[in-house]
Structure 1
């Protein structure tokens, strides 16, 4: 049975399930597998590294004739990278974290839909101003990066739905099974975007140690912080965005001392040396609060089918509740 929503009709999907464009792990094989299974797979374009785009985008373009997308970090990508991605014919381009205005017109001139991820109502209004075809309302429970002062998914999504009117809204943040997707639909969303759950799939480009950490992880052990961005010398805008990860030695060492870490160049060099020695993981383990629900490593197709079935069952149970 298909789950029909405004999103599935807009993009000709079977299910209102979107795989997040996770930088470094959401490559062409994962995106293609999700799309073939009836969801919307998305390649993580990050800041538009040309070598990555030229390797991963042909993979998805060749592997499926179903709609797929690509996502970029708005603050770090340039128009040339977006132009390059559009050459491969994505059905949608997702812009996250930053003003989508400078890139919106170019996407509108293509055949791709413009999707914009927002973390507060001001960003949602801006997304509507630039003509977003789909808005992703991201709550703070999600893994990876988000607003330092964001809103939780449950209260935030309906606010964006009410504001967006006829523009479809996707819920994101802390959703890792079909019950979460059903809850998003009940809130008025047209679908859900999932990240952490798709990290633990056969096609995801992650180190086995990361997969093991996700399977063993608990939501109570995740933490939002800027520490690991600062230690890694990442270029994320300081003060505006933090990232939710599993525990890490540098979180324990620098928690509450972010300003001191930002001014301590030797500490950043020490981080690189610790990575080289194997004392700390090469990358943080990005994981959301729903990581406890991730208990296996299926293929992406198996996961999409299971998520859809769980969502259908949850909605059926809700429909049987007595008034």
Structure 2
């Protein structure tokens, strides 16, 4: 075994982290306890602030701000936020604020002026260029294998990450999408990324704000059971822009409406039926967001322990690759 300090990158140096691993700021499920645990484990924990609900933020921000004891950040869905949400977060002095899905330019200066690092997630080359022009401190290159929302016409992680690495240099890039174990972290580093941003793997941890039925589904799920679609957003009455689809595990409503999105959008009765089925307990409260690497997830550890285990596994994978 190499020492646990072996995986030093531009990303770990920027934030003073032990490991080149970041928690994807999954809206609602990456709460304060999960973000704090990832930071305690030596990664960068990021609170999933979503659209910036002030009640949720008021509850969850102190949990990470008071107990992380190490660098932590917050991530927003850029299309859904306003300046007030960003200001509320900045009052708690996060080390980083991440903007995903939408135009980051209205918020970039405000975040940097507050002394926080600006992390911008990108899903295509055009967005990557914009992130560089805006002076992003870190760029996350998200491939379509990722769970939850992403670009409908995005690129796969393996070919996309090195393109962004080359375009953004010397800005550190994190790889995201389909990374759920240390071998995936090692692969990200081999592609030139300075670390990995991981979502689905952290849904199945002791600290995640995830319904037990969703954790069970992730443990039992297979990559071939996941699919990208807008059906569940439309059924839920979600305001997600149409250019972003969500990768989820199978769902009865998906089977019912697959390929009939326009019809579903024009049918208020169908959306009412969905709400009533959720209220009766016939449907899960939320879709199960899961990436293509879900097969690799088969336990529910503490997130702090998981970060350390992922880093050790990545070191072993890189050492093994070097010996072959």
- Settle same-fold status: TM greater than 0.5: yes
Match of 2:301 in 1: 298
Shift in Å, 1:45: 0.5
What residue number does 1:187 align with? 191
Q: Which residue of 1 aligns with 2:97?
A: 93
Q: Does the residue aligned with 1:31 lie in a helix, a strand or coil?
A: helix
Residue 38 in structure 1 maps to residue 42 in structure 2: yes
Q: Which of residues 73, 78, 86 is equivalent to 2:77?
A: 73
- Which residue, 172, 178, 184 being the options, matches 1:168? 172
Write the deviation string for residues 111-139 of structure 1: whole angstroms up to 9, x where unpaired.
11000000000000111111100000000
Rounded to whole Å, the distance in 2 between the matches of 1:64 and 1:273 is 39
| Structure 2 residue 318 is the aligned partner of structure 1 residue 315 | yes
Residue 256 (str. 1) matches residue 259 (str. 2):
yes
Q: Is this contact kept in 1: 2:35–2:68, CA < 8 A?
A: no
Q: TM-score scaled by structure 2?
A: 0.98
User: Please, which of 10, 16, 25 is the counterpart of residue 20 of structure 2?
Assistant: 16
Number of positions where the alignment pairs a residue of Structure 1 with one of Structure 2: 320
TM-superposed CA distance for 1:277, in Å, is 1.4
Using the TM superposition, give the Cα deviation of residue 165 of structure 1 relative to its aligned residue in structure 2, in angstroms: 1.1
Structure 2 residues without counterparts, runs of 5 or longer: none
Which residue of the other structure, out of 61, 75, 81, is the alignment partner of 2:65? 61
Distance 1:117 1:77 in 2: 15
Find the residue that maps to 2:119 and give its secondary structure. strand
Out of 238, 244, 255, which is 1:241 matched to?
A: 244
Partner of 1:137: 141
Partner residue, 2:225? 221
SS across alignment from 2:98: strand
CA distance in 2, matches of 1:315, 1:77: 40
Give 1:64 shift. 2.0
- 1:284 has 2:307 as partner: no
Cα RMSD after superposing both structures: 0.6
Q: Does 1:178 align with 2:182?
A: yes
The answer as to whether partners of 2:226 and 2:291 remain within 8 angstroms in 1 is yes
The CA distance in 1 between the partners of 2:56 and 2:278, in whole Å, is 23
In the alignment, which residue of structure 2 is the partner of 1:230? 234
Distance 1:79 1:258 in 2: 32
Residue in 2 that maps onto 1:197: 201
Is contact 2:183–2:314 with CA below 8 Å preserved after alignment?
yes
Q: Following TM superposition, where does structure 1 have runs of at least 4 consecutive aligned residues deviating by more than 4 angstroms?
A: none
